[in-house]
Chain A
């Protein structure tokens, strides 16, 4: 196990015959450097031409998709909001209409009730008036009948009292006059 003693650093010592500068000591070889530089640029070109566009396209597509779905979500939200507004508006209108209908119905009912009240009143009044008329007519008729009955009664009574003094014609005249006077 004498590795430690054998640790030798084979740093490429600068070649005294060449430039002998620090760069060659560090292993800089301009030919190799140029080759690697060009090789790397070719690598960048190849990857930039054939590989990266695929990745970039996919990223862009996904970005577009995300943007589109965000927009769609926003539109849907707006739509939902406007739909809600619409519903609220409709509800308001419906309520207003319902209220109007109820008010109208109430008014109509009141009007109908008052109309039928009036009608009933008018009819009742008519019945009363008719009854009055009939009553008056009946009174007149009764009076007339009473009048005739009275005349006949008086005639009969007078006949009985006076006897058959004069003719029936005279009797009647006298009675009528007497009746008139009594009136």
Chain B
């Protein structure tokens, strides 16, 4: 390998009919297969009443995340409804990110195109996840506030409640910024991680034997952080969408409310 091949987009490796199968999808399918194997093994073993350290670890993770979801959402029932989506996002991002740190990713080529690429390093995937998160939070918000009630979160009468109306506009823009922030954060981290691995490989030459594992460990750590961030943000966006803005009267009193929701959102996104 004498050239550093960097492509912002995932590249098609082969085609099935009109659909191009990209290198990110190839590794993604592998990662998801690994994840499914692990989770189905765990589920069947737990159903049989087996127990070992690995199952304990999985169960502990699951329980911890469920507790966190319940804490963030506040309502146990709603938390359990949104939880499968959030935890699947966590596991998927985690595993697909981790398999992208495996040796061979980015350097094995097929017809001049790298055969493997991390799934989170494909904007299609991260964008799909972000769309699902935002749409899911909208669905939950509509279920809670009703269709017009949900629209009422964004559109308010500017004569009656000028600050509220402005807040509504910010809220509406916020939904799109969430979409962009969620997808680009994950994509950026994963893409940068892969580029970093390749650059380190080229820069260190044979010393890569020592240098690469360190960067791989770092990537594994970043993978966990990103998966966790995605999980938490999904829950936070849902919980924000479920919040009732009961105080429509934003008149003279300078209470915390107008700045509250956007501040929370931006804090969560930073």
Contact = CB atoms under 8 A, between A and B. Distances in A.
Contacts of B19: 31-32, 35
A44 B84 contact: yes
Interface stretch (A9-17, A161-169, A175-183): A9-17
B6 A9 contact: yes
Given A6-B4, A41-B132, A48-B88, A32 B22 contact: yes
B211 interface: no
B267 interface: no
Interface of B: 2-11, 18-20, 22, 25, 28, 32, 36, 39-40, 42-43, 46-47, 58-59, 62-63, 66, 80, 83-85, 87-88, 91-92, 122-125, 127-129, 131-132, 202-203, 205
Consensus secondary structure, chain B interface:
helix
Interface string A110-124: 000000000000000
Nearest to B10: A27
Interface string A17-45: 00000000111110111111100110110
Nearest to B7: A10
Given A52-B84, A52-B87, A27 B9 contact: yes
A6 B4 CA distance: 7
B127 A48 contact: no
11 contacts: A3-B202, A3-B203, A7-B202, A12-B11, A28-B127, A32-B20, A36-B28, A40-B129, A51-B43, A55-B43, A55-B62
Interface residues of A, number: 36
A47 interface: yes
Contacts of A56: 66, 80
A50 B7 CA distance: 37
Given A25-B8, A58-B46, A32 B62 contact: no
B26 to A, nearest CB: 12
B8 A51 contact: no
Nearest to B88: A44
Contacts of A51: 39-40, 42-43
A28 B123 contact: yes
A48 to B, nearest CB: 4
Nearest to A1: B205
A41 B32 CA distance: 13
Given A3-B203, A54-B47, A40 B92 contact: yes
A8 interface: yes
A11 B7 contact: yes
A83 interface: no
A51 B42 CA distance: 8
Nearest to A46: B36
Given A54-B46, A58-B46, A11 B88 contact: no
Contact of A29 (B5, B20, B80): B20
